[in-house]
Amino acid sequence: MKTAVCPGSFDPVTNGHLDIIKRTSKMVDKVIVAVLYNPSKNPLFSVEERIELLREVTKDIQNIEIDCFSGLLVDYVNQKNIDVIVKGLRAVSDFEYEFQMALMNKKLNSEVETIFMMTSSEYSYLSSSIIKETCKFKGCIDGLVPDPVKKALLKKYK
């Protein structure tokens, strides 16, 4: 049984994230969507809120588990017996950083593989930061995030 992890901050989850998660779910037996808890960041949504939003927007995908972690991704991968790390790439600019992380993870655990998946072109410009800024200044985010996420964002920026 192959298990993949899609790690990220998901603050908030966007349709670009969902694109990668759904496509990954078709390639492996199980996908763990792992929310990173980073105490040095000041996220808009708590880890619990991000987990709840992810559960809601992925409820129709059968082979998904939502979890959270802190620390090194490779330690989480080892703890959960994960076979593959899946990282979404929006543009070439994402590649350099993600490539460095993949090589470091490989150095720390030679058994783990990282797969880079290009997001669909319709979401290639999306990031959680852009979504938050657009919503904060009353811009339209229709079609960029799932409806439950839009509602949660509008509530935060009320």
Residue appearing with tokens 């979404």: 88
CA atoms within 13 Å, Cβ hemisphere of 34: 26
Please report, for the chain, the start and end positions of each structural domain, with discontinuous segments joined by +. Answer: 3-124
Indicate which residue of 41, 107, 138, 158 is catalytic. Answer: 41
Q: What type of residue sits at position 46? A: S
Which two three-digit tokens encode residue 153?
Answer: 């964002």
The pLDDT tens digits of the residues spanning 100-155 come to 999 999 999 999 999 999 999 999 889 999 999 999 999 999 999 999 999 999 99
Verify whether residue 59 is a known catalytic residue: no
CATH architecture for segment(s) 3-124: 3-Layer(aba) Sandwich (3.40)
124 known member of a binding site: yes
Q: Name the pTM for this structure.
A: 0.94
Average the pLDDT over 27-56 and give the result.
94
Angstrom CA distances, 74 to 5, 106, 108, stand at 11, 9, 7
Verify whether residue 41 is a known catalytic residue: yes
Verify whether residue 128 is a known catalytic residue: yes
The pLDDT tens digits of the residues spanning 134-143 come to 999 999 999 9
Verify whether residue 55 is a known catalytic residue: no
Residue appearing with tokens 């593989």: 113
Indicate which residue of 22, 30, 55, 90 is catalytic. Answer: 90
Indicate which residue of 25, 50, 128, 150 is catalytic. Answer: 128
